[in-house]
Amino acid sequence: MRRPKDWDDMKTRFFDRLIDRGTLVIHYPDTNTQIIGQGKPTAHIHLRERKVLARLLSDPEMVFGEAYMDGDWWPGEGGLLAVFELYFANASNFGSSRILDLARHALRGLREANSRLRSRRNVKHHYDIDHELFARFLDRDMQYSCAYFESAEMDLEAAQQSKCRHIARKLCLQPGDRVLDIGCGWGGLALYLARHYDVDVTGLTLSDDQYEYARERAANEGLSERVRFFKQDYREHQRDHGEGYDAIVSVGMFEHVGRPQFQVFFDQVQRLLKPRGRSLIHTIGRNGPPIEDTHGWIEKYIFPGGYVPSLSELAPCVEKTGMSLADLEVWRLHYARTLDCWNERFQQHRDVFRERLGERFCRMWEFYLLGCQAIFRWGELVVFHIQLAQRNDVVPVTRNYLYPERVEAPRLIQDAEFDQTG
């Protein structure tokens, strides 16, 4: 069936309604260009074929990322991040059309009722891809969560250690304490706590690769007697000999729990804590209200079964446990810089990854890293630090205990500096 003669005009009018701030430049394969909007920010998109544009408009939320993976379009000047910046500059216009809703709906999914079997499958989908991939783009300690940039001069390695130190202090650890790490990853935090705070740590993961690597590393560092790892679902974990834990930490795992299991998770934390126990939940969060379920690109290709919570969804779950909300800290922009560091390292080894995993995978991965960086930089995602305690008198009443070594406060990173690093 032939398209109407005014097909190009229809597409132009469609984009005109979406872009009222900034400029989108579309480069066609016949060297013609189409300029939509004016001013900054500016993004350039090159199309392999004219019909690609029709494909993008057919199901933009899913197809935009898939077409990039297929090489049907690529960014021009300013790169992929500029495309996401233009999207967020006009995000209110995209809401009703759902185009490019990748980042806004990041990490949520239709399949949030994560059974034990489904949770294992979801973990395998992402964390057991290729050990070399993670080893190359993460820091030496293989921390796959938001770093904590205390000063403008910090690099990724220092910022990840800063994150571990900050979390350890929030757990109010004492030598000999028993600590549970739910979602321990490759074991970096668990080993850090044992090494620097003389505590006994149990780490839980569902990833085969993380489990084997963490155990091997603990043995190599002579910490096997104080740090043990289990390939186990958090819902299956029981107290040893009827004893609870002095502290429970979970970093970057709660995003995979799924809304139907929120209460189950917090109930389990409360159940496993000793009467004077403390907990720190580090999770991506939403600075806004809860969202509706919609199948998105990231849910399909990166993190199946996940969901990023708003604060209003977490508070009722904490209240029902009877635990005390001791402190709540919100990290803004730290994850944007973390993702920028990850992407920089990924690009340094892109040729290696292309040989191992293919060009389509590389496009998928950079779309993921830059799309998520964009929503932490210009969108609604932040990181919540939820500090909990069984009793109201366990955690110090001021935050001074978090910064004991500070004689003079370091120069803090300003928003503009985050932008410059991006």
Residues that are catalytic: 372
Measured distance CA(132)–CA(151) in Å, rounded: 30
- CB-hemisphere CA count at 13 Å for 23? 13
Please list, in sequence order, all residues whose beta carbon lies within 8 angstroms of the beta carbon of residue 235, skipping any fewer than 6 positions away.
Answer: 116, 261, 264, 268
- Return the bridge partners of 388, or none: 279, 325
For the chain, the first-to-last Cα distance in angstroms comes to 46
Measured distance CA(409)–CA(150) in Å, rounded: 10
Measured distance CA(382)–CA(397) in Å, rounded: 25
- How far is CA 58 from each of CA 49, 51, 86, 177, 349, rounded to the nearest angstrom? 15, 11, 20, 56, 34
- How far is CA 182 from each of CA 28, 321, 329, 412, rounded to the nearest angstrom? 50, 18, 20, 31
Q: Which of 231, 167, 234 is nearest to 199 (CA)?
A: 167
Show the DSSP H helices in 144-295 as ranges.
156-170, 188-197, 208-220, 262-272
CB 296 within 8 A of CB 113: no
Q: Which of 112, 143, 144 is nearest to 265 (CA)?
A: 112
CB 328 within 8 A of CB 282: no
Beta strands in 7-106 (DSSP E): 22-27, 33-38, 42-47, 73-75
